[in-house]
Amino acid sequence: MDLSPVIDGFGVVLEPTNLLYCLIGVVIGMLIGVLPGLGPAATIAILLPVTFGIEPVTAIIMLAGIFYGAQYGGTITSVLLRLPGEASSVVTVFDGHELARQGKAGTALGIAAIGSFVGGTVSIIALSLLAPLVAGFALDFGPPEYTALALLGILLVSTVSSGHRIKALVAASVGLLLATVGRDGFTSAERFTFDNLSLADGIDFVPIAMGLFGLGEILYNLEERHRATQAPAKVANAWPSRKDLRQSSGAIGRGSLIGFVLGILPGGGAVLSSLAAYALEKRRAKDPSRFGKGAVEGVAAPETANNAAATSSFIPLLTLGIPANATMAVIFGALLIQGVSPGPQLVSQEPELFWGVVNSMYIGNILLLIMSIPLVGLFVRILRVRATVLAPITVLITLIGVYTVNNDVFDIVLVIVFGAIGYLMKKLGFDPGPLVLAFVLGSLLEDSLRRSLLIFDGDATGFFTRPISGTLLAAFVLVAVLPLVRRALRRREEEHVDSSA
Amino acid sequence: MKTNVARLAVAGAGLALALTGCGSNLGGGSGDGSGFPGGDPVTIYVGQDPGGSTDLIARALADTVSDDLGVAVTVENKPGANGALAAKELAGKEPNGHTLMVYNGSLAYITPLAVPADEALDIADYEIVTGISQDDYVLVSAPSSGLKTVEDLKKAGKAIKYGTTGVGTGSQLSQALLFAQTGIEATAVPFDGGSPTLTAVLGGQVDVGAIQLGEAVEQIEAGELTPIVTFAEKRPSYLPDTPTAVEEGYDVPVQQSRAVFAPKGTPKEVLDTLRGSFQKAFGTDAYKKFNEDNQLTPNEVDGTELRGQWTDSLDNYKSVVEEHGIDLGAGQ
């Protein structure tokens, strides 16, 4: 492996501008991690317009920082206030808050910070090793391969993600439908444009993301009455004892692995991996009853796993151009707007961008490790800012932001429309994630499919005879059929149990 | 730096200089342009995203024009519908010289062949300040394909798959014409811009593709792409050893051309002042180097001549497309 681009990547990160934006990113990330409700996808969507004025690598360094920074931040409120700032820190509440009540809040936060750092670092190293391998196939990725990949991505995201499966598929279908709006790139026929030239190129990704994730989430949160925040427990002795470290080292190791693997899988990500890591530790423990009563492993495992997953979810995006979760979809959009199309060619065509972003994660994790403990007090104070103050400001930033993208008032209208849709979706139990993902991948899927058929002279068997697209399609069938098979098996098992009983 | 809205320095000292370009008509009231620019800023629309060739050209010119006019010159990107969105907006602006646009030739003489008649834009609805430059298309193949000349394509013994940078682009028109005239059976596969087309040729997904010279020159020099023909009228100085399609006996010069447009009814004096400023910008060493770096051929003609060029192109393409029964809209 040629290491020089990796080292050049460090050169990129260490430029003062990039360091600054990395710092800004992780601080914003921690901040929104602390604030319940506003997640990384929403924040990144709202901040998209800010990134247009800066270099692509700097922009993505900042956005990535927000994402993994949020995983650190979410822990703080889970531990201190029993109020998970992020969905991925929900399980941390069980043991983390218990530790805080025993006066060991510092231990919990310290272990979480160390675990997050280890998990993140393990994932970055694996990312560095794996990405160039995938990139070796870059030129073999033609339209048929992208067709299969987009199909697989949409299916995985809608079926593996948490939440109701049918609702996720419905949301994904709506996303696909929205992707068809605009002048057809093959025949220049107008589709769903209603003679509006602003729609000729289709609906822009930015207003959709900012509306569904940003505005929709703000509106939804307004409904929830915020509990008065109690004064947090005093945070003393932030550094965990040697005994704590020894006790949690196994959990950190296993958490890194689980997080890394689940993060790569589309739809997996930070939430799923934190749950899985916690469950594993509880099952492995000699004395499972300790869990929920302040077990250090119960904090170490999920916090390590969610950070490892946050990092490894960059792998499918940066190597295949397939966003694995909602946040990655927004970063995908940010890259496209910067004129960078993520895919197998990225490592070779934009080594500075690729390695700059990857290596910035080392720096970002170190920054987070240093900052997370001293800043706890500040973050807790921010929690007291009322939603009535925060929400209007965020809405204003969102609307101004979307206007600056194309200097087009039409985009503001779109954000408001999609904000309303996003609010209704959340209210009715639909996750907007699959919609946005399917929308992002929809035009890739359609264009690649039609391009492939032109190349194959209309013969669809070509998809199956090419090795890469054939394999991907086999995986697609597997993922589609597996849950059905599993359900059938379970039913038979139950019948078996019933009859034997 | 890519800034969506680049605010450029205002150089007040250039004001007196700019006014000398207004000619002798000093007596008129408002509306004849004698006071142009009068301290108000000028906005140049670009119908493409920041970072593309059109955007880069606008930004390369804006600085010097700003110095010369003595007012701020702002480049504003209004991407959409291949530039038609920005052009429609320009048409509705006050014709006072304060709103201009870098207009792509393809929008004037190729897009009308691909979109429904009521959507096509007519350059008669605009004033033309000056021509800027031309961009040549080159037909390339991957070396592993063994396709080096038009003869090779004829003898390939199969339907050629050709990559285009999109529907209604010069890339599509040039190849469609070449293959129609040579009687080569071929299918167009449209991609989204130059870079994906290039990748598809490199990866062997399509047999050939036509790409703007500036986007392919690096790979051609590195031997990763074989240039077959250019679609220029004469060999571009940057690619002296590659024949043009015209030399090969096919009548298909197709180029991307760019010009500065103003809303219809902009006073002649204002147009002249603006043209003077743009010509100053054309003359700077920095701009000449910019053209060389991007393989652009200067075409700094006046408005009348440019209108003639583009109208001829449209008429020409209309008749050959009809003659060969090519339907750009259907993508085949």
Q: Is residue B93 part of a domain?
A: yes
Give the three-state DSSP class for A367.
helix
Q: Point out the domain boundary residue: B206, B232, B254.
A: B254
pLDDT, greater one: A186 or B33:
A186
Question: Is the CB of B190 less than 8 angstroms away from the CB of A186?
Answer: yes
Domain holding B45, by residue range, is 5-134+257-317
> Taking CB atoms and an 8 Å cutoff, what residues of chain B touch A407?
4-5, 76-78
Question: Is the CB of A198 less than 8 angstroms away from the CB of B206?
Answer: no
Q: Is residue B329 part of a domain?
A: no
Of B115, B167, B196, the CB nearest to A186: B167
Residue A379: name the closest of A36, A15, A24 by CA. Answer: A36
Per-residue pLDDT at B176: 93
B234 and B119 assigned to the same domain:
no
Question: Is the CB of B4 less than 8 angstroms away from the CB of A341?
Answer: no
B120 and B181 assigned to the same domain:
no
Q: Which amino acid appears at position B36 of this protein? A: F
Residue A52: name the closest of A331, A404, A407, A413 by CA. Answer: A404
B293 and B189 assigned to the same domain:
no
Residue A433 — pLDDT band, cuts 50, 70, 90? confident
Q: Is residue B332 part of a domain?
A: no
Flag whether pLDDT at A342 surpasses 50.
Answer: yes
B180 and B270 assigned to the same domain:
no
Closest-CA residue of B relative to A204 is B80
Closest-CA residue of A relative to B327 is A187
Of B50, B52, B80, the CB nearest to A201: B80
> Taking CB atoms and an 8 Å cutoff, what residues of chain A touch B188?
454
Question: Is the CB of B167 less than 8 angstroms away from the CB of A53?
Answer: no
Q: Which amino acid appears at position B134 of this protein? A: Q
Q: Are strands B99-104 and B255-263 parallel, antiparallel or unpaired?
A: antiparallel
Q: Which amino acid appears at position B318 of this protein? A: K
> Taking CB atoms and an 8 Å cutoff, what residues of chain B touch A205?
none
Of A200, A339, A455, the CB nearest to B49: A339
Q: Is residue B222 part of a domain?
A: yes
- Give the phi and the psi of residue A393 in degrees, each rounded to 5: -65, -45
The CATH number linked to B236 is 3.40.190.10
Of A139, A188, A447, the CB nearest to B202: A139
The CATH number linked to B112 is 3.40.190.150
> Taking CB atoms and an 8 Å cutoff, what residues of chain A touch B78?
406-408
List pLDDT tens digits, range A403-430: 877 777 888 999 999 999 999 998 898 8
> Taking CB atoms and an 8 Å cutoff, what residues of chain A touch B80?
197-198, 200-201, 406
DSSP code of residue B115? S
Regions of chain B where pLDDT drops below 70: 1-34, 50-51, 330-332
Of B4, B80, B330, the CB nearest to A404: B4
Cis, peptide link before residue B236, omega less than 30° from 0: no
Per-residue pLDDT at B16: 36
Q: Is residue B325 part of a domain?
A: no
CA of B200 vs chain A CAs: smallest distance (Å)? 7
List pLDDT tens digits, range A239-274: 678 888 888 899 999 999 999 988 887 666 777 788
Interface test with B, best of A183, A206, A410, A445 (most B CBs within 10 A): A183
Residue A106 — pLDDT band, cuts 50, 70, 90? confident
Of B76, B116, B203, the CB nearest to A142: B203
Residue A37 — pLDDT band, cuts 50, 70, 90? low
B123 and B171 assigned to the same domain:
no
Residue A232 — pLDDT band, cuts 50, 70, 90? low
B249 and B289 assigned to the same domain:
no
CA of B119 vs chain A CAs: smallest distance (Å)? 9
According to the per-residue pLDDT averaged within each range, which of A133-137, A343-347, B137-141, B249-253 is highest? B137-141
Of A140, A142, A187, the CB nearest to B331: A187
Beta-carbon contacts of residue A302 (< 8 Å; ≥ 6 apart): A88, A89, A91, A92, A255, A274, A275, A277, A278
List pLDDT tens digits, range B138-179: 999 999 988 999 999 999 888 899 999 888 888 999 999 999
Interface test with B, best of A147, A181, A187 (most B CBs within 10 A): A187
- CA dist A49 → A137, A397, B3 (Å): 33, 10, 11
Question: If interface means Cβ-Cβ distance under 8 Å, which residues of chain A face chain B?
Answer: 52-55, 138-143, 183, 185-190, 197-198, 200-201, 337-339, 341, 345, 404-408, 447, 451, 454-455, 457
Flag whether pLDDT at A501 surpasses 60.
Answer: no
B121 and B239 assigned to the same domain:
no
Report chain A's mean pLDDT, rounded to a whole number: 83
What total of structural domains would you count in chain B? 2
CA of B216 vs chain A CAs: smallest distance (Å)? 14
Per-residue pLDDT at B304: 94
Q: Is residue B100 part of a domain?
A: yes
Distance CA A52, CA A413 (A): 21
B16 and B123 assigned to the same domain:
yes
Question: Is the CB of B78 less than 8 angstroms away from the CB of A183?
Answer: no
Residue pair A133/A263 in contact (Cβ under 8 Å)? The answer is: no
Distance CA A148, CA A479 (A): 13
Interface test with A, best of B1, B2, B74 (most A CBs within 10 A): B2
Q: Is residue B324 part of a domain?
A: no
Interface test with A, best of B7, B106, B205, B224 (most A CBs within 10 A): B205
Per-residue pLDDT at B13: 35
> Taking CB atoms and an 8 Å cutoff, what residues of chain A touch B85?
197-198, 200
List pLDDT tens digits, range A285-336: 888 888 888 888 999 999 999 889 988 888 888 887 778 777 888 888 888 7
User: Can you say whether residue B23 is alpha, beta or left, with left for phi > 0 and alpha for psi between -120 and 50 degrees?
Assistant: left
Flag whether pLDDT at A4 surpasses 70.
Answer: yes
B60 and B154 assigned to the same domain:
no
Q: Point out the domain boundary residue: B254, B273, B305.
A: B254
CA of B310 vs chain A CAs: smallest distance (Å)? 22
Query: Number of CB pairs < 8 Å for A and B?
Result: 96
B82 and B179 assigned to the same domain:
no
Q: Is residue B210 part of a domain?
A: yes
Per-residue pLDDT at A289: 86
Distance CA B152, CA B142 (A): 13
> Taking CB atoms and an 8 Å cutoff, what residues of chain A touch B77?
406-407
CA of B141 vs chain A CAs: smallest distance (Å)? 14
- Give the residue-averaged pLDDT of A428-445: 86
Of A138, A338, A451, the CB nearest to B189: A451
Question: b/e per residue, B2-31, with b = 16+ CB within 10 A?
Answer: bebebebebbeebbebbbebbeeeeeeeee
Closest-CA residue of A relative to B188 is A454
Question: Is the CB of A143 less than 8 angstroms away from the CB of B205?
Answer: yes
Question: Is the CB of A188 less than 8 angstroms away from the CB of B167?
Answer: yes
Per-residue pLDDT at A267: 63
- Specify the residue for token string 């040697």: A242
> Taking CB atoms and an 8 Å cutoff, what residues of chain A touch B79?
201, 406
B47 and B145 assigned to the same domain:
no
User: Can you say whether residue B71 is alpha, beta or left, with left for phi > 0 and alpha for psi between -120 and 50 degrees?
Assistant: beta
Of B88, B167, B331, the CB nearest to A197: B88
B57 and B201 assigned to the same domain:
no
